[in-house]
A and B are shown apart, each in its own frame.
Chain A
Amino acid sequence: EIVLTQSPATLSLSPGERATLSCRASQSVSSYLAWYQQKPGQAPRLLIYDASNRATGIPARFSGSGSGTDFTLTISSLEPEDFAVYYCQQRSNLITFGQGTRLEIK
């Protein structure tokens, strides 16, 4: 099973700042990686798929990069609605999710 390790576990930033979230795979997943946002009491929302493709309706401030084992989700300028938990997910070998990064308001 491919293990996805997300860091940091919690990220404290202010609106307007840049957020950089990391996801590291225990073995290569090529570009088969997605990012989801989840707010309390809600279902996850697809942000990025295949490492760098924005899903329909996702604002341009969200971007994804990386390949192989190291991936990054960047939010260029945080809006108040961006504070949530973010998960990465791979589909290269079975399906696994990371444990999540909580993005909180500083």
Chain B
Amino acid sequence: QVQLVQSGAEVKKPGASVKVSCKASGYTFTGYYMHWVRQAPGQGLEWMGWINPNSGGTKYAQKFQGRVTMTRDTSISTAYMELSRLRSDDTAVYYCARDLRLSEGAGIHLWPMYYYDFWGQGTLVTVSS
């Protein structure tokens, strides 16, 4: 069965960086885009970007450009999201989420569908001085 298991909660000071991991199992890790979505306490959902685990290619939401870096290690089927220059309003639960569609079909590269069928359990990142 598909599982995405994320790293544990973090507490960081303003200006620091945080790196969250997401270990995938139960499917071919390189076959699906991985997205990152965050949710501030009591708030709605906010898309941050994606990584293509096969190529390492990324796309970030403009809001996070310059502060977020998404990487992966295919040898251990793990995706990472690093957010730098943390502020108090970055306090949120961060989720990894698998794209609904395969990244390749019949040898043709496909763009993500931007719907998310499997999610990690979430990682709470608290930014506080």
Within 8 A of B (CB), among A58-106: 87, 89, 91, 94-100
The answer to whether A34 touches B115 (Cβ under 8 A) is: yes
A and B contact pairs by CB, cutoff 8 A, 12 listed: A36-B116, A43-B97, A43-B119, A44-B95, A45-B119, A46-B117, A50-B115, A87-B45, A97-B44, A98-B44, A99-B44, A100-B44
Interface range on chain B (Cβ under 8 Å from partner) = 10 to 19
The answer to whether B116 touches A44 (Cβ under 8 A) is: yes
- The verdict on A55 contacting chain B, using a C-beta distance below 8 Å, is yes
Q: For B120, what are the chain A residues with a Cβ–Cβ distance below 8 Å? A: 43
The answer to whether B100 touches A49 (Cβ under 8 A) is: yes
Q: For B113, what are the chain A residues with a Cβ–Cβ distance below 8 Å? A: 49, 91
**Known pairs A94-B61, A95-B61; A46 contacts B116 (CB<8 A):** yes
Residue of B nearest to A92 (CB): B114
Smallest CB–CB gap between A16 and chain B, Å?
A: 29
Within 8 A of A (CB), among B103-121: 113-117, 119-121
Residues of B participating in the A interface, judged by any CB pair closer than 8 Å: 44-47, 61, 95, 97, 100, 113-117, 119-122
| 11 extra interface residue pairs, beta carbon distance < 8 Å, beyond A55-B117, A95-B61 | A36-B45, A46-B100, A46-B115, A46-B116, A49-B113, A49-B115, A56-B117, A87-B45, A91-B115, A97-B44, A98-B44
B119 in complex: contacting residue of A44, A89, A97, CB < 8 Å: A44
Smallest CB–CB gap between B33 and chain A, Å?
A: 12
Residue of A nearest to B35 (CB): A95
Residue of A nearest to B6 (CB): A43
B45 in complex: contacting residue of A46, A50, A56, A89, CB < 8 Å: A89
